[in-house]
Amino acid sequence: MWRRRASGVSLPGMAELPTGAVTFLFTDIEGSTRLVKQLRGRYDEVLAEHQRLLRAAFAAHGGYEVDTQGDSFFVAFSSARDALLAAVEGQLALLSHPWTDGVQVKVRMGLHTGQARASEGRYTGLAVHRAARIGAAGHGGQISSRRQRRPCSRTRRKTCTSSSATSASSG
């Protein structure tokens, strides 16, 4: 199914925003200001290629592109597995790509699963803010996530998992 973005770019993806427990993915190029200064007019080509590579990975795993600004993406997935696979595929595509002038494009990615309110093609809620913070805390080439506590019943309180942060690096 194709979804038309406000920017006019057609992307394969979901017809509707995922609902319920949604996994949010935030991405950002590390050192983008340095790359702009280094590449000057050629940065546009690098940015477009970065967007093409990541959009292909997101689409291959059913991602819904909520927003993009500058060199950042905000994407929603109906499953954590699909979000993680898209992130890994995206990092591998970026790592193996022959970039102009031999530059390296390193992207930090953050994943978080939680409940959020969907309205008019957007999400609001604490889970969105947590995902953005997790993404911002990472380094280029990393995929960071935070496992949220499972809801506990009073009788099972000792067996519930605690929160923990994890990170994987592609380089």
Position 17 confidence tier, pLDDT thresholds 50, 70, 90:
confident
For the structural domain made of 16-169, what CATH number should be given?
Answer: 3.30.70.1230
CB 127 within 8 A of CB 113: yes
Return d(Cα 66, Cα 7) in angstroms, integer. Answer: 12
Give the pLDDT mean for 105-110: 98
Instruction: Supply the pLDDT for residue 11.
Output: 54
Is the per-residue pLDDT at 10 higher than 60? no
Higher-confidence residue of 8 and 12: namely: 12
DSSP-assigned states of every residue in 23-69: EEEEEEETTHHHHHHHHGGGHHHHHHHHHHHHHHHHHHTT-EEEEEE
Please name the amino acid found at residue 76.
A
Give the pLDDT mean for 60-69: 95
| Residues 6+ positions from 97 with CB-CB distance below 8 Å | 49, 53, 105
| Residues 6+ positions from 88 with CB-CB distance below 8 Å | 143, 168, 170
Secondary structure of 77-97 as H, E, C letters = ECCHHHHHHHHHHHHHHHHHC
Tens-place pLDDT, residues 127-158: 999 999 999 999 999 999 976 655 544 444 44
Starting at the edge strand found earlier in the chain, the sheet holding 142-147 runs 64-69, 72-77, 21-29, 107-115, 142-147, 164-169
Tokens 């992130």 sit on residue = 87
Give the pLDDT mean for 106-130: 94
Domain chopping of the chain, boundaries: 16-169
Instruction: Supply the pLDDT for residue 82.
Output: 97
In the chain, the percentage of residues whose pLDDT exceeds 70 is: 77
Instruction: Supply the pLDDT for residue 73.
Output: 98
